[in-house]
Amino acid sequence: MTRKAAIIGGGVIGGGWAARFLLNGWDVAIFDPDPEAKRKIGEVIDGARRSLPALYDRALPPEGSLSFHDGLDDAVAGANWVQESVPERLDLKHKVLAKLDQAAPVDAIIGSSTSGFKPSQLTAQGARAIVAHPFNPVYLLPLVELVGDRDQCAKADSILRDIGMRPLTLRKEIDAHIADRLLEAVWRECLWLVTDGIATTEEIDDAIRMGFGLRWAQMGIFETYRVAGGEAGMKHFMEQFGPALSWPWTKLMDVPEFTPELVDLIATQSDRQSGQMSIRQLERLRDDNLVGILRALRRNQAGAGKVIADHEAGFPPLPHSDQLIETVHRVVPSSWTDYNGHMNEAHYLEIGTQATDRMMEIVGAGPDYIARGKSYFTVENHISYLAEAKEGATLRVTTQVLAGEGKKMHLFHRIQNGETLVATMETMLLHVDLDSRRSCPPEGEVAEALAQLATRHTALPRPDQAGRHVGQRA
């Protein structure tokens, strides 16, 4: 059954929430008095459409419906989740949360995107709410800080994991939760560095992204220091660096004075740093980088990449068609395109490899079988490129078994974009023993499953491209 999220207050954060729910198959109803809301939220959702599906090797569920409402009551009717993202003023939050408490179904979660207020402050006038504080861009970054009523947070945790996020429930409430306390500390120190003329905004950004920022994308601070401590361990590291804490390194005991001159100085430096790019271009670059970083982490099952892999593992299996088997259903990420403006030739083979892996699973030669020391190695591939595939295209692969006897598995993959056949790939695999690295016959069950498929599939028409060599006339 489709679930419904009500988004109260748009902007970058509300729009990001809308995109996250929508692209995970939820219906989304928006209430935002800003006359530009439709355009602004639409742009955020467009950004999400070109990046979120690119994190996955499987297609996300079909999008839910998106609607804009003039009344708050109308937007929250029947909602399972209500997310408040209005400006950061406590009186305004109180007013909006009171209305939401009245209008929302009694079992709906009411989450507030507040980055600073504690739940005891939000609920001081009796309205129910928990803190559900996300990070921009909400459609790509998995973290959500949850604070408040224990049962509500537990229920929220489960819902947010379903839409691919990593909820983190705080053990006690605290001003600004966890991440923003850390961000605030760094931000203050950065303002001092600029004020004192030690470095420009661009130099400070480089000091972060060329060094510790790369570490923090994967391990955080404690784990990084654990590794830096080396064989002597965490305790040694702590004892070695503990004394430096009382050295006069930071100026954070002071708050820099927030003068118009400081605002000007930073705005001017920031314009010089990247004023030649529009905010849209910068957002696109940011999202492309995040997709690349997250896909890299996913490969190592590390950090936020593991959140994506775990999320995808819960997707329902691909349906079997009557005859051929659908082995891949996915979107072309922007990182797969090349200087010719289309999916690079190597990624057709990557898709074919995913289809082959899926076939191995279907005949019983999946990860468990491989862990027991047997597998298939590819010995030959032939790819015909028939049409271009662009960034964002949804591709489906159907696979036909051309032969499956003895050590051989002979497959034919058709890669389609809607009705268009964009490529075919003929592949020959040999069954091997992973210890000796030599070919050998597969185990009985695999041989049987493969033979059954081969019998069914060889009765189907043989593809035109099968048996073709490079340069052969059509």
Amino acid 127 reads A
CA atoms within 13 A on the CB side of 455: 6
Q: What are the strands, taking DSSP E only, across 303-419?
A: 325-331, 374-385, 394-403, 408-417
> If we measure between CA atoms, which residue out of 131, 128, 165, 160 comes closest to residue 146?
131
Q: Does 145 engage in binding with its own copies (CB under 8 A)?
A: yes
Q: Which is nearer to its own copies, 119 or 142 (CB)?
A: 142
Residue 9 Ramachandran class (φ > 0 left, ψ -120 to 50 alpha, else beta): left
Residue 197 known to bind ligand? no
Q: Which is nearer to its own copies, 69 or 286 (CB)?
A: 286
Q: What is the distance between the alpha carbons of residues 468 and 274, in angstroms, rounded to a whole number?
A: 51
Q: Which residues touch 317 (CB under 8 Å, ≥6 apart)?
A: none
The token duo for 467 is: 């048996």
Q: Which is nearer to its own copies, 388 or 391 (CB)?
A: 388
DSSP assignments along 350-367, one per residue: HHHHHHHHHHHHHTT-SH
Q: Which of residues 438-467 bind its own copies (CB under 8 A)?
A: 466-467
Q: Which of 34, 73, 74, 202 binds its own copies (CB under 8 A)?
A: 202
Q: What is the distance between the alpha carbons of residues 85 and 16, in angstroms, rounded to a whole number?
A: 10
Buried-state track 407-420, b at ≥16 Cβ within 10 A, e below 16: ebbbbbbbbbbeee
Preceding omega of 53 cis (within 30 degrees of 0)? no
> Minimum distance between the CB of residue 166 and its own copies, rounded to whole angstroms?
5
The token duo for 330 is: 């996915």
Question: In a 3-state reduction of DSSP, which class is residue 431?
Answer: strand
Q: Which is nearer to its own copies, 56 or 135 (CB)?
A: 135
Q: What is the distance between the alpha carbons of residues 384 and 344, in angstroms, rounded to a whole number?
A: 13
> Minimum distance between the CB of residue 212 and its own copies, rounded to whole angstroms?
6
Q: Which of 1, 35, 70, 437 binds its own copies (CB under 8 A)?
A: 437
Q: Does 33 engage in binding with its own copies (CB under 8 A)?
A: no
Segment contacting its own copies by CB under 8 A, of 21-29, 52-60, 90-98, 335-343: 335-343
Q: Determine the size of the site formed for its own copies (CB under 8 A).
A: 156
Segment contacting its own copies by CB under 8 A, of 57-65, 70-78, 188-196, 450-458: 188-196
CA dihedral sign, ordered 98, 103, 105, 111: negative
> Minimum distance between the CB of residue 425 and its own copies, rounded to whole angstroms?
9
Q: What is the distance between the alpha carbons of residues 150 and 137, in angstroms, rounded to a whole number?
A: 27
Q: Does 434 engage in binding with its own copies (CB under 8 A)?
A: yes
CB 79 within 8 A of CB 108: yes
Q: Does 256 engage in binding with its own copies (CB under 8 A)?
A: yes
Q: Which is nearer to its own copies, 80 or 384 (CB)?
A: 384
Q: What is the distance between the alpha carbons of residues 392 and 8, in angstroms, rounded to a whole number?
A: 29
Q: Does 85 engage in binding with its own copies (CB under 8 A)?
A: no
In the block, which residue shows the tokens 């400006």? 87
Q: Does 32 engage in binding with its own copies (CB under 8 A)?
A: no
Q: What is the distance between the alpha carbons of residues 146 and 142, in angstroms, rounded to a whole number?
A: 13
Q: Does 92 engage in binding with its own copies (CB under 8 A)?
A: no
Q: Which of 63, 149, 162, 205 binds its own copies (CB under 8 A)?
A: 205
> If we measure between CA atoms, which residue out of 391, 395, 390, 455 comes closest to residue 424?
395
Q: Does 183 engage in binding with its own copies (CB under 8 A)?
A: yes
Q: What is the distance between the alpha carbons of residues 440 and 374, in angstroms, rounded to a whole number?
A: 9
Residue 467 known to bind ligand? no
Q: Which of 14, 64, 142, 164 binds its own copies (CB under 8 A)?
A: 142
Q: Which of residues 285-304 bind its own copies (CB under 8 A)?
A: 285-286, 288-290, 292-297, 299-300, 302-304
Q: Does 469 engage in binding with its own copies (CB under 8 A)?
A: yes
Q: What track of x and - describes contact with its own copies for positions 394 through 423 (by CB under 8 A)? A: ---------x------x-------------
Q: Does 185 engage in binding with its own copies (CB under 8 A)?
A: yes
Q: Which of residues 12-31 bind its own copies (CB under 8 A)?
A: 12
Q: What is the distance between the alpha carbons of residues 227 and 221, in angstroms, rounded to a whole number?
A: 10
Q: What is the distance between the alpha carbons of residues 400 and 288, in angstroms, rounded to a whole number?
A: 34
Q: Does 372 engage in binding with its own copies (CB under 8 A)?
A: no
Segment contacting its own copies by CB under 8 A, of 90-98, 119-127, 234-242, 438-446: 234-242
Residue 11 known to bind ligand? yes
Q: Which is nearer to its own copies, 68 or 385 (CB)?
A: 385
> Minimum distance between the CB of residue 84 and its own copies, rounded to whole angstroms?
18
Q: What is the distance between the alpha carbons of residues 326 and 322, in angstroms, rounded to a whole number?
A: 10
Q: Which is nearer to its own copies, 94 or 306 (CB)?
A: 306
Q: Does 313 engage in binding with its own copies (CB under 8 A)?
A: no
Q: Which is nearer to its own copies, 105 or 367 (CB)?
A: 367
Q: Which of 35, 151, 246, 461 binds its own copies (CB under 8 A)?
A: 246
User: What DSSP designation does 324 have?
Assistant: S
Residue 116 known to bind ligand? no
Segment contacting its own copies by CB under 8 A, of 95-103, 155-163, 323-331, 383-391: 383-391
> If we measure between CA atoms, which residue out of 16, 46, 300 comes closest to residue 163?
16
**Known binding-site positions for NAD(+):** 9-14
